[in-house]
Amino acid sequence: VGSADGSVDLWQLPNGEFHALKHADGARVLSAAIDPRGRMGVTGHENGQIYFWDLNRGEQLNTRTHAGKVYAVAFDPTNPNTVLAAGTDAHITFFERSPTDGKWQRSRRWARLKHDDAVLCLKTYAVEDHPESLDAPLIVTGVAGGVQVWSYDDESGIWKESVRVNALTGVYRLEVWPEKNLIATGDLHGNLRFWSLTTGKPIGPHRPNFGIVTFLEKSGPDHVLVGTITGSISRWPLPFAAGETA
């Protein structure tokens, strides 16, 4: 859990054990992620700093700087030693952990991925057939103008935009179901919207919520949880469960 005062707290589930991680400069925490194994963490801060954490020891490994506020961080699901960070500079920067000293450095394998506008949120997904040679993740980003879906092209050796969703307002939170070809987005006006992952077309009408969407997560196989700045939480069925199609 990241806070406005820069503190980072770790809660151990299911026993509720609490650990306060050490922090240095007190810059507001804007994003956080834990690797799939639960051993490492990363936090993105308002001052552009990215902190890498050893969760087993509760210690900071090292820091790196990203240009602008860091609104989104994520671990590569195909490789826990790779982290993605993005924010107001409209780029995704890749970081990799050194096998020798365990420190995090800018990736030499992946170049920075440029967007049209500030990246407000991002998700990464392992897709079995994408791509086979490098096991690169599927990257889905929420920006001021909608959603961009990126996949790695083996032949050219670069990331390519495969799908674009043109939303009316900035996408603050998103969730993806690759197996259902479905994207869910939450925006500034509290709207929950669904889109096709393959075509970018809308699916069904929007679902209104009260306030800016600050939380969007899967809830079982056929529902999504939506939390807003007002403190309300709603549970909505996915459109396919309601019989809606693109």
For every residue of 63-102, DSSP letters joined together read EEE-SS-EEEEEEETTEEEEEEEEETTSEEEEEEE-TTT-
Question: What are the pLDDT digits (tens) for 24-66?
Answer: 566 788 898 988 888 888 999 988 899 998 888 878 888 898 8
Tell me what pLDDT residue 73 has: 94
pTM of full prediction above 0.75: yes
d(CA 39, CA 11): 13
Tell me what pLDDT residue 10 has: 62
Residue 223 has pLDDT above 90, yes or no: yes
Tell me what pLDDT residue 53 has: 87
**Percent above pLDDT 70 for the chain:** 83
d(CA 137, CA 78): 6
Length of the chain counted residue by residue:
246
Across all residues in the chain, what is the average pLDDT?
83
